[in-house]
Amino acid sequence: MLVKALPRRLLLGPGPSNVHPRVLAALAQPLVGHMDPVFLAILDDVQAALRRLFGTRNPLTLPLSATGSAGMEACLVNLVEAGDRVLVGVAGVFGERMCEVAKRAGAEVHRVDTQPGCALDPDAMRDAIQRVRPKVVSFVHAETSTGVLQPVDEIVRAAREVEAFVVLDCVTSLGGVPVELDAWGIDAAYSGTQKCLSCPPGLSPASFSERAVACARERKTPVQSWFLDINLLSRYVGNERVYHHTAPISAIYGLAEGLRLIEAEGMEVRVQRHRVAAAALIEGMAELGFEPLVDAAVRLPSLTTLRLPAAVTRADEAQLRARLLEKYKIEVGGGLGPLAGQIWRIGLMGENARITNVEALLMALRQLLA
């Protein structure tokens, strides 16, 4: 398969989403070195833009050199030492993943579960926080497996009462819905570039509060991952400029351009664009018999989850997605984990959150389901 012979896809799954041509052009710019003053200036710009987007003044705000799952691992392994109690709010596959990652970091993991497609219950979280008195409370802002946008305030307040650190997964929220780490009181957050930032997958924008940085600095044991140790990373992305690992230059060029596009549009306009596109999608899909899984109050605009019409069986749905991809070059996502075969996940993320894309999908589905 030659790269040049690739089909043109409309990526309306749970990510990656389509990348703006200007970002693609940035990826193709010739390299400079990772210690070159020119590159360090770009990295500074990226960090500053990420701070604005995350709504934070955290000095340690950076693009981690790996995908969102590594961002999750970075947040947890830096804060957790063996035997520490971590409370995870589990509202889907990515909450589950947090439990697994925390366990592998040696944590004593406690969890609060919810039904698929529902938000975490803040009272249940508060009760568990009071009972467990965890060092870290970790949950997902925008659960990519269910399409729930989790309200943050009450859980963070409860965590603060016991002085717990709060880790927040912003993979499918950053750049699509408002994120305000400082106002919310988040200590460590991570995202991915391939969702609402409309960049290729490969980087995990992340931010650590001064309190989180101090916690990592004062650990009794070293961070188990050398690659993700913020004590070392901060010496490269900060003023010291000490070499740690070779930064992924081209990907950071792309992210720089993607962040510039976001700022040129403005987050207010962008958030509204995501809302409008999601509303049009839900309306149009309802006519085809697809019903939203998630209550309107906690529905994530960037990723809509829809129950399949009764006429579409589990076997049908995979075939329908395959035909959509082959014949119409449109990708949508199936269910993940316990929701496999029961729902579709349709992303309208970043550049893709546009009515024209909704219309293209609806037209294709009308023909396929006719």
Residues that bind a copy of itself (CB under 8 A): 1, 3-4, 6-9, 11, 13, 15-16, 18-19, 24-34, 36, 38, 41-42, 45, 65-70, 73, 97, 100-101, 103-105, 192, 194, 200-202, 222-227, 243-251, 253-254, 256-257, 325, 331, 336
Cα–Cα distance for residue pair 339/345, rounded to 1 Å: 10
Secondary structure class of 192 (helix, strand, coil): coil
CB nearer to a copy of itself: give 35 or 286. Answer: 35
CB of 184 to a copy of itself, least distance (A): 26
- In the complex with a copy of itself, the residue whose CB is nearer, 8 or 311, is 8
Find the shortest distance in angstroms from Cβ 222 to a copy of itself. Answer: 5
The structure tokens listed for 291 are: 């019903």
Q: Considering Cα of 109, then 141, then 200, then 324, what sign does the dihedral take? A: positive
Q: Give the C-alpha distances (Å, rounded to integers) separating 289 from 20, 40, 126, 336.
A: 32, 52, 38, 21
Least CB distance to a copy of itself at residue 9 (A): 5
User: Which lies closer to a copy of itself via its Cβ, residue 114 or residue 144?
Assistant: 144
Nearer to a copy of itself, 150 or 352 (CB): 352
Token couple for 244: 């740690």
Residue 80 contacts residue 110 (beta carbons within 8 Å): no
Q: How far is the CB of 161 from a copy of itself (least distance, A)?
A: 30
CB-CB contact of 267 with 260 (8 Å) = no
Least distance (Å) from a copy of itself to the CB of residue 264?
Answer: 13
Specify the 3-state DSSP secondary structure of 291: strand
d(CA 166, CA 188): 6
Report, in Å, the least distance between residue 235 CB and a copy of itself: 14
- Phi, psi of 248, rounded to the nearest 5 degrees: -75, 80
Smaller CB distance to a copy of itself: residue 55 or 350? 350
Those residues with Cβ within 8 angstroms of residue 338's Cβ, 6 or more apart along the chain or in another chain? 116
| CB-CB contact of 273 with 357 (8 Å) | no
What phi and psi values does residue 16 have, to the nearest 5 degrees? Answer: -65, 155
Nearer to a copy of itself, 129 or 172 (CB): 172
Closest approach of Cβ 126 to a copy of itself, in Å?
Answer: 28
Nearest to a copy of itself of 242, 363 (CB atom): 242
Please identify which residue in the block is written with the tokens 């950076």: 62
